[in-house]
Structure 1
Amino acid sequence: MKVKVYTLNAFGKSNNGGNPAGVVLNANTLSTEVMQRIAKEVGFSETAFVQKSDVADFKVRFFTPSEEIDLCGHATIACFYVLANKSISNPGKYKQETKAGVLDLEVKIDGTILMNQALPEFLDIIDQKEIAASLNISEDKIASDLPIQIVSTGLKDILIPIKNLDTLLTMTPDFDKIAEISKKYNVIGYHAFTLETKFDSTAHCRNFAPLYAIPEESATGTSNGALSCYLFKYGKVTAKNKNNLIFEQGYSINQPSEIRASLSTNDKNIIEIKVGGNASALKEKMLEV
């Protein structure tokens, strides 16, 4: 059986930037095993499979090369870009069924796609020593005014505040240790960040998920959604700038990316999170499965 796979880049800041994803439309007849094989063959950090849904406009399943995950931000952007490009959907608001729940999203006329994420869960705070060792940095390179904390807006990540941009860009993580710690805390991986940025953005980030066969990812929508909520909780995002958050990512692996986010709040409570961006470089190929 031959399956058509669309490939494209989500969140690109430049022509060679962004995070590549695979998209398979009309995946209703594909078994979990076949979808996993396709994702491994495509080889990107995530591939999205679009199916019919009884509770939303579309059901989307997400696979890394090694296993299925509940949600993926950049693959969602890629998925709805393909649906719009192939005239399956038009600009407007949609609901997607995922393993992280039924989530709202919007396709703008200019091609920007904004996806809602689940409300934040603020979970364990983790000791600096354990994390510093796995990043091959000293503890004093980690910011002291923010906690290392597990946060989820659909997927759990360990958010790690780094003092400065130079440390973030030059550190050489121990991926085996990161995989062990990720397994220990039942998280996808690390989302390390600093508030010192290249382009006056909200934060500069690096994301590591070796437990899921992703050493470093160039653009992660879900992680930056979680980071948006974390920064609001700890006073680094204010009412003035909460609607225009910009995250830089991928520069350490020569895939410059830009992820945008906005928060709706009621006093100190977050009531809505949106993460979005654009996609480009759409191509298609046939796989034998």
Structure 2
Amino acid sequence: MKPDAHPAIDAGTLHRLTAFSDDPAGGNPAGVWNGPALPPVEAMQQLAAELGYSETAFLAPLVGDERTIRYFSPSCEVPFCGHATIASGVVLGTSSGMGTYRLQTPVGLVPVSVRLENGRPVAALTSVEPRQEPASTELVAAVLACLGWGAGELDPELPPLKAFAGSWHLVLAARHAGRLARLDYPFEVLRELMLAEGLLTLQLIWRAQPALFQARNPAPSCGLREDPATGSAAAALGGYLRALAQVPPGGRITVLQGEAMGRPSRLEVTIPATGGIVVSGTAVALTTP
């Protein structure tokens, strides 16, 4: 069965973009299906599996500027996906006009504003309210063992913490850039551990400058050894930094991700004093499916 063989799928338009980059060779690829009504779950899941991107978003109108959106990985539905939301915002902006769209996601309302910047559409999502939970000593020790990291290699100013802004991530900050440069782990062992804890990715970071972070995001729970750009993790990191008073109210940070994978990505994060975290970036069409 081809991705466009289901009648409900045929009723919409499928877009292939890469988010958080202005280069089709960079960023994180996503499918965006936009149609009059959401297809059946089995049709959405099959299309996502056949596309093979880490996530595919499905959009349908509700009322006015409201849209419903659902996200599917090749193997299952996921509650929220940042890079597919940015890609969806660019699709909406270019097809229906610049402005703000209210996306009703499985985790709550996520507004996405789209504007032209130097002739290119830029989308900015505002996450649901972020929150954090302590990471148990046992969880941190097990994850460090999988990664081959020592506890002394962690940055003492940025302690391990579970962070949420639509999906859960474990934030681990390396003391030195060299530690982040080396990433190897037993896929199935870490996958089972993350699934048991409800983690979408590990947010492995190194603080290069006060407002500049490098990140790598293992995502075996989604079937990925590594994700090149993770908008939900960037939003969760913003909430994490705010909770630890590591950024001033209204501060901004930049997250660079995907460079080690050959898909450089740039995520801009604005951290207001209260409320959701704003993550913005570009998205461009892929040159090949």
Fold match, TM over 0.5?
yes
In the alignment, the residues of structure 1 paired with residue 62 and residue 169 of structure 2 have an alpha-carbon distance, to the nearest angstrom, of: 28
The CA deviation at 1:55 is 8.8
Q: How does 1:111-126 map to 2 (within 5 A)?
A: 111-126=121-136
The CA deviation at 1:5 is 2.4
Q: Which runs of 5+ in 1 are unaligned?
A: none
Instruction: Specify which of 79, 102, 106 is matched with residue 113 of structure 2.
Output: 106
In the alignment, the residues of structure 2 paired with residue 225 and residue 187 of structure 1 have an alpha-carbon distance, to the nearest angstrom, of: 15
Matched-pair contact (CA < 8 Å) for 1:27–1:49: no
Q: Which amino acid aligns with 2:246?
A: K
Instruction: Specify which of 66, 75, 78 is matched with residue 69 of structure 1.
Output: 78
Instruction: Specify which of 185, 190, 199 is matched with residue 202 of structure 2.
Output: 190
Does residue 95 in structure 1 map to residue 102 in structure 2?
yes
In the alignment, the residues of structure 1 paired with residue 198 and residue 36 of structure 2 have an alpha-carbon distance, to the nearest angstrom, of: 29
* Greater RCO structure (CA 8 Å; 6+ sep): 1
Q: How does 1:30-45 map to 2 (within 5 A)?
A: 30-45=39-54
TM-superposition CA deviations, 1:98-156 (whole Å, max 9, x none)? 10111212111221111110111111323232221111222222223322111101111
Match of 1:260 in 2: 268
Residues 213 and 80 (structure 1), Cα distance of their counterparts in 2 relative to 1, 3 Å cut: same
Instruction: Specify which of 169, 177, 180 is matched with residue 168 of structure 1.
Output: 180
SS in 2 for 1:16: coil
Q: Which runs of 5+ in 2 are unaligned?
A: none
Does residue 233 in structure 1 map to residue 243 in structure 2?
yes
Q: Which deviates more from structure 2 when the two are superposed, residues 204-213 or residues 143-152?
A: 143-152
In the alignment, the residues of structure 1 paired with residue 203 and residue 194 of structure 2 have an alpha-carbon distance, to the nearest angstrom, of: 11
CA-based RMSD: 2.0
In the alignment, the residues of structure 2 paired with residue 119 and residue 251 of structure 1 have an alpha-carbon distance, to the nearest angstrom, of: 29
Residues 113 and 138 (structure 1), Cα distance of their counterparts in 2 relative to 1, 3 Å cut: same
Match of 1:47 in 2: 56
Runs of 4+ in structure 1 deviating by more than 4 angstroms, as ranges, are: 282-285
Instruction: Specify which of 203, 207, 228 is matched with residue 218 of structure 1.
Output: 228
Residues 59 and 229 (structure 1), Cα distance of their counterparts in 2 relative to 1, 3 Å cut: same
Residues 230 and 167 (structure 1), Cα distance of their counterparts in 2 relative to 1, 3 Å cut: same
Matched-pair contact (CA < 8 Å) for 1:178–1:189: no
Residues 231 and 162 (structure 1), Cα distance of their counterparts in 2 relative to 1, 3 Å cut: same
The CA deviation at 1:177 is 2.3
In the alignment, the residues of structure 1 paired with residue 93 and residue 65 of structure 2 have an alpha-carbon distance, to the nearest angstrom, of: 17
TM-superposition CA deviations, 1:224-253 (whole Å, max 9, x none)? 0110111222232224xx443110000110
Instruction: Specify which of 259, 269, 279 is matched with residue 251 of structure 1.
Output: 259
The CA deviation at 1:67 is 0.5
The CA deviation at 1:284 is 8.1
SS in 2 for 1:94: strand
Q: How does 1:11-22 map to 2 (within 5 A)?
A: 11-12=20-21, 14-22=23-31
Matched-pair contact (CA < 8 Å) for 2:109–2:128: no
Instruction: Count residues with an aligned counterpart.
Output: 275
| Amino-acid identity (%) | 27
Match of 1:279 in 2: 283
In the alignment, the residues of structure 2 paired with residue 54 and residue 281 of structure 1 have an alpha-carbon distance, to the nearest angstrom, of: 27
SS in 2 for 1:204: strand
SS in 2 for 1:206: strand
The CA deviation at 1:165 is 1.4
Does residue 129 in structure 1 map to residue 133 in structure 2?
no
TM-superposition CA deviations, 1:189-239 (whole Å, max 9, x none)? 211111026xx8521101111111122110011100110111222232224
Matched-pair contact (CA < 8 Å) for 2:23–2:284: no
